[in-house]
Amino acid sequence: MINPPSGASENIVYAARPTAMGPLVMAATARGVCFAQFGESGAELIAQLKSEFPDATHTPSRLTESHELETWIEAFAAHIAGDAPRPGFALDLRGSAFQIRAWRLLLQLPDGKMMSYAELAAGIDAPKAVRAAASACAANRIAVLVPCHRVLRADGALGGYRWGLERKRTLIDRERARQSP
């Protein structure tokens, strides 16, 4: 594991906001965003953050204490509303070496460009690891910023998405709309 997920001895600052795609919690360490997830409620997402990083200190963001996180979450909200390109701020990726390689490849994928799970596996020199590539997408803690929503089944169908197929469809449609003249 690179950057173990427990968060031992770390302070994770988080903020909860309503967005065009539902409640969002974004959290960051000193290295960057480590968690950006949608859910049914901010409280549910904060509980999930704390369970995924049980050994960290969790601090609610206050504008004066974490201006950077506040700026990031506003840029993220503008992006998912369809008003801005994907923000390119620092990420604190946590997962297996395979997962990190998959996510880094996805970070290079231009807005509006899709790929299949097989292409993702092949792109990280593991062409037979299609299921593992799909599992890496499902394990992603950083919605939209690590664009797992751009990975489709080989037949072009949406496949799965940790935060629901409707969100995946909406994200893809908005990105494609931004690419259209």
Q: Map the chain to HEC letters.
A: CECCCCCCCCEEEEEEEEECCEEEEEEEECCEEEEEEECCCHHHHHHHHHHHCCCCEEEECCCCCCHHHHHHHHHHHHHHCCCCCCCCCCECCCECHHHHHHHHHHHCCCCCCCEEHHHHHHHCCCCCCHHHHHHHHHHCCECCCCCHHHEECCCCCCCCCCCCHHHHHHHHHHHHHHHCC
Catalytic residue numbers? Answer: 148
